[in-house]
Amino acid sequence: MIHRCPLLLDGRALLDADALIRAGLAERRASFELSFEALPRDVGFVVVAGIETFLDSLYRLVIDEAELDAAARLCGISDKLKRWLLRLTPSADVDAMPDGTLAFANMPVATVEGPFIEAVVIGALLRATMQRASTVATRAVRLHIASSGDPIIDGSSARGASVDAALAIARWVHVGGASATDNALASIALGIPFQCGSGIKLGDLAPPTPRPDDWDASPAVGSPPALFELGGGDDEEAALVEAKRVRAKASGFVARGLGHAGSFGLSTRYELVALELGGAWCPMRGPNNQSNVVPGRKRVVRYTDAASRSVADVIHLTTERMCSPAELGAQTLAPLARAFMRDGRMLEAPEVPSMGRDRSIAARPALPPEVTHLRRPGAYRVELSEGLAALRDAF
């Protein structure tokens, strides 16, 4: 049986890892950061998701030797890399913004630090997972905004290509704001509320009975509003906006198209920002001194005012003192990322999806209202600290 190890998905990452072995750099400690590039025009913020899914995948790794042999023949990787993969026990440190955190372009949402080779190989999985998860969660939150808080029902995850994919999509959609799912297994496994109605129409085969989720623009007095199907295409957001405009009565809006990128996708960067030399971290702009990489190990801090409204996010070097809230017209500060893995060991029990949902819903009203607009959103204030700006300019 082929187990299909996720670490073998990215052939470029395997070839990069092999190049590190050949160059004698495999065990040098490296620091990589994952960030979102410029957001699509009508997207004001990202709902970060995927760290829980990544950790689950990493700790359920099964590397099949026959499958690895096939990958080696296909990619031309060395026997040394094959042996390294077969013996792999994660040893890296991973910090990330937890599921449901609201983030913006060009700020690190996750950091992987460890042996260069491990940071490259598991980083490819982290990047793929968080990019897909955050895209799904961000599409879901936009529907939640368009619905003005009315229930969004996940009708997408049950159409996943596999059980693992279906459960992952259900988690991400729930983190983005969906209140329930029609995926029975996701409800059982993840604790997401279940809401669904029969969809079969028997016609003359059965006596006519009202279908509980048929939408009737003029329901009978006393009958509960039914679920509204958004159609499952790329235009579900527009369909929901129109349904709200005509004041369609519904107990919830079923979204069936959230499992694919749809009308927009998020792009990411996974860059080398520091390399250990002589026992100390040396800032890097990627391996080739790339001008568009901000060097140095970083942390993102969110500043809020007395009313708990978000004022600004400042990206600091990990070694510098954080800016005083008063400097930014704020009252409190809080780092956005937290440690999930140290020396390859998970530091806490996995979160249930509802915790990510609660986090994203609670954080959204704290943003400036214009940042949450679905069309032409305003820009949120994101700055580099004085120390980080000086380091960037010195390169």
Q: What is the 3-state secondary structure (H, E, C) of 91-152?
A: CCEEEECCCCCEECCCCEEEEEEEEHHHHHHHHHHHHHHHHHHHHHHHHHHHHHHHCCCCCE
Is pLDDT larger for residue 225 or for residue 218?
225
What confidence tier does 232 reach under pLDDT thresholds 50, 70, 90? confident
**pLDDT value at residue 10:** 94
Find residue 31's DSSP bridge partners.
113, 274
Mean pLDDT over 241-268 rounds to 87
pLDDT score for 210? 56
pLDDT > 90: percent of the chain: 79
Question: How confident is the model over 112-135, as pLDDT tens digits?
Answer: 999 999 999 999 999 999 999 999
Q: Quick one: pLDDT band at residue 201, thresholds 50, 70, 90? A: confident
Which has the closest alpha carbon to 129: 303, 9, 287, 241?
A: 9
Q: What is the pLDDT of residue 5?
A: 86
Residue 217's pLDDT band (boundaries 50, 70, 90)? very low
The mean pLDDT of the chain is 92
pLDDT for the residue numbered 149 = 86
pLDDT of 209? 57
Instruction: Please compute the mean of the pLDDT values over residues 283-305 and round it to a whole number.
Output: 95
In the predicted model, is pLDDT for residue 224 greater than 60?
A: no
What is the per-residue pLDDT across 58-103, written as a single tens digit (0 to 9) for each? 988 888 888 889 988 999 999 999 999 999 999 999 999 999 999 9
**Strand bridging mode 180-181 / 152-154:** parallel
- HSE at residue 318, side-chain half, CA atoms within 13 A, is 18
Is the pLDDT score of 183 beyond 70? yes
Contact 234, 256 (CB under 8 A): no
Poorest-pLDDT segment among 70-79, 328-337, 380-389: 70-79
Question: pLDDT digits over 255-279, tens only?
Answer: 999 987 666 789 999 999 999 999 9
Domain ranges of the chain: 145-255
Q: Give residue 211's pLDDT band: very low, low, confident or very high (50, 70, 90).
A: low
Region for residue 344 given its phi and psi (left: phi exceeds 0; alpha: psi -120 to 50; beta: otherwise):
left
Phi, psi of 29 (to 5 degrees): -70, 135
Which pLDDT tens digit goes with each residue over 11-27? 999 999 999 999 999 99
Q: Which residue has the tokens 């959204």?
A: 364
What local confidence, expressed as pLDDT, does residue 218 receive?
47
Q: In this predicted structure, what is the pLDDT of residue 220?
A: 45
Evaluate whether 76 touches 383 at the Cβ level (below 8 Å). Answer: no
Over range 313-341, report the average pLDDT.
97
Q: What is the pLDDT of residue 213?
A: 53
How many whole angstroms separate alpha carbon 356 and alpha carbon 139?
A: 15
**pLDDT at residue 28 in the model:** 97
Higher per-residue confidence, 119 vs 208: 119
